[in-house]
Amino acid sequence: MATRGHILKYLAAALLAAFCLAFARTDTTQKSMVRAVLLEPGEGGWTVGLLYQAPEASADSSEASDGIGFAAASGPDLERALDNAASLLPLDANFRLCDYLLLMPGGSWQTPSDYESLVLARQCGRTSAQLAACTFTCQELSEATEEGNDLLTSLLQTLKRSKRALPRLYEIQTSAGLLLPCVTMEEDTLPIQPEGWFVSAAASEQWDAQKTAVYELLTGQGETFTFWLGKHPLTLRRPLLSIQMEQDGSFAVHLDCQTASDSARPDSAELARLGTLCTQLIKERWEEGQDLMGLGACAALQEGEQAYLTPAKNACPQLRTDVSVY
């Protein structure tokens, strides 16, 4: 009897596992898996584009990159535009693998905030989705992919390769601004351009390549960082950052970096200039209400809570940035 009881338990466990597997596959492979959302606000409403994985293209795998489709629709508000776009998909939309959110340059800080609110209310996306800007509209992307080329697959691959440089949607709740890498359309490719878009409550503006690289270096937002400080490009990687508060209340920001294998080794003048660019950006962001380096927390940690500094109440403290390579 004991043996028979064990057999029945094993049989029941096997049946339960089979049922769960069948349910899981029904919940995913029988739906259109949305991989990315493109938000395009306009004067009279919204346009939403959905990059989706067809069920027959192994959409249950987050690694899948073929069988991609794109559908876009407009509406008087974000929620209805999203519903209209979802209605164009072959099957019901599933946002479990929605890893990316693309924003049109020039959009306001309110755009990702509105989408996050909708995600929290309806589960039509993920707050961990990574953000990027794009220079093309939903209509331009639709027209470029009408001939059945691999542009949509290329877009997903570009975003995947750049994921270390992409901030996440939930960061809008704790940040005074976000730098978004910008995807541009060039014939049959969709590369990330050197110039990034900085989005904050105050403004949305394009930064030049140098300023973009400085911000990414200071925040570790990316893998390699290229600067033109002399006759040849300087490419750095693996930045190690430390901050020290001096006895006079000033701050010393230290950056230790490794030069890329194809980069010339910088001289002291180039490193000094890079340090100056870093200091200027830290001060600029402080004036705009963003404590980019956490100087306030550093002061509180060393001197106590009464020493905490905030851009809203305090002038930017004196600081310098030292950059070294190894």
**Per-residue confidence of the chain (326 residues) as pLDDT tens digits?**
456 666 656 666 666 655 555 444 444 458 899 999 999 998 889 999 999 997 655 444 444 446 789 999 999 999 999 999 999 999 999 999 999 999 987 778 899 999 999 999 998 999 999 999 999 999 999 998 886 668 999 999 999 999 999 999 999 988 889 999 999 998 778 999 999 999 998 888 999 999 999 999 999 999 999 999 988 899 999 999 999 999 899 999 999 999 999 898 899 999 999 999 999 999 999 999 999 999 999 999 988 999 899 999 999 999 999 999 98
Structure-token pair, residue 95: 């946002």
Task: List beta partners, residue 178.
Answer: 199
Among 77, 74, 72, which residue's Cα sits nearest to residue 111?
Answer: 77
Q: How far apart are the first and last CA of the chain?
A: 71
Among 151, 177, 181, which residue's Cα sits nearest to residue 165?
Answer: 181
Question: Under a CB-based contact definition with an 8 Å cutoff, are residues 239 and 257 in contact?
Answer: yes
**250: helix, strand or coil:** coil
Neighbours of 190 (CB within 10 A): 23
CA atoms within 13 A on the CB side of 168: 11
Q: What is the pLDDT of residue 264?
A: 86
The domains of the chain are located at 30-207, 219-325
Helix axes 110-122, 78-86, angle to 10 degrees: 60
DSSP string, 15-41: HHHHHHHHHHHHHHHTSEEEEEEEEEE
In this structure, which amino acid lies at residue 208?
D
Superfamily for the 30-207 domain:
ATPase, nucleotide binding domain (3.30.420.40)
Question: Under a CB-based contact definition with an 8 Å cutoff, are residues 197 and 257 in contact?
Answer: no
Q: What is the pLDDT of residue 128?
A: 96
- Give how far Cα 283 sits from Cα of 256, 311, 321, 325, Å: 20, 10, 11, 23
Q: What is the pLDDT of residue 145?
A: 86
Burial of 236 (0-12, 13-18, 19+ CB in 10 A): buried
Q: What is the pLDDT of residue 10?
A: 61
Neighbours of 159 (CB within 10 A): 23
Pure H helices in 64-188:
78-86, 110-122, 138-144, 151-161
Question: Angle at the Cα of 137 (from 136 to 140), degrees rounded to 5?
Answer: 85
Question: E strands along the chain, which residues?
Answer: 32-42, 45-53, 68-75, 93-94, 100-103, 130-134, 177-183, 192-200, 204-206, 224-228, 233-245, 251-259, 319-325
How far apart are the C-alpha atoms of 174 and 226, rounded to whole Å?
28
Task: List beta partners, residue 299.
Answer: none
**62: helix, strand or coil:** coil
Q: What is the pLDDT of residue 17?
A: 58
